[in-house]
């Protein structure tokens, strides 16, 4: 099931480039990677709300250690500061991470709901990226099925 959803997601995705992030040993890290690397750290989860399964970026600590090298991860901020940003906001961790990354690249962040198959979350030097923080879902089984029916 995971392989089928991931293959379909990649088939429809606007970009195969990712800016990923996660907390590790008190620091929030970020890095740029490709679907080839990113896909190795995706697990299958249930989506809820009757949407079926969902591939989710949920690396274990041993996988985070591997990603530090594979995705050339860089320190972004302390986990404590990141958690303060989340606590002082109406947005969730993934949205705050997206905001911080967008601003790091000198752009203005606005909350949007543009589907993954129509655009990336950010464009840097002409390259579109999806931004994913730990525990981010990709697309639900129902969403993938709708895209496949309309293809």
- CA nearest to 15, candidates 127, 139, 141, 95: 127
**Cβ contacts of residue 104 below 8 Å, gap of 6+?**
76
Q: Model pTM?
A: 0.95
Number of CB atoms found within 10 A of residue 124's CB? 17
User: Which residue bears the tokens 């697309």?
Assistant: 139
Give CA–CA dist 9/138, Å, rounded: 8
Q: Where are the beta strands (DSSP E) in the chain?
A: 17-24, 27-34, 42-46, 53-57, 74-78, 122-124, 127-133, 136-137
| Polymer length of the chain | 151
What is the full per-residue pLDDT of the chain (151 aa) written as tens digits? 999 999 999 999 999 999 999 999 999 999 999 999 999 999 999 998 889 999 999 999 999 999 999 999 999 999 999 999 999 999 999 999 999 999 999 999 999 999 999 999 999 999 999 999 999 999 999 999 999 999 8
Domain boundaries, the chain: 2-145
Cβ-contact 23, 100 below 8 angstroms: no
Reading the block at residue 88, the tokens are 């002082």
């Amino acid at each position: 099931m995971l392989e089928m959803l991931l293959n379909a997601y990649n088939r429809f995705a606007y970009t195969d480039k990712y800016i990923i992030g996660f907390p590790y040993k008190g620091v929030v890290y970020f890095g740029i990677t490709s679907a080839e690397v990113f896909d190795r750290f995706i697990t299958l989860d249930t989506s809820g709300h009757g949407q079926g399964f969902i591939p989710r970026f949920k690396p274990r600590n041993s996988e985070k250690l591997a990603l530090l090298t594979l995705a050339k991860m860089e320190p972004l901020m302390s986990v404590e500061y990141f958690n303060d940003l989340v606590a002082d906001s109406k947005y969730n961790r993934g949205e705050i991470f997206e905001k911080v990354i967008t601003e790091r690249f000198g752009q203005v962040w606005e909350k949007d709901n543009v589907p993954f198959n129509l655009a990336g979350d950010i464009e840097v030097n002409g390259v579109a990226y999806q931004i994913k923080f730990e525990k981010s879902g990709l697309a639900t089984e129902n969403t993938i099925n709708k895209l496949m029916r309309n293809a």
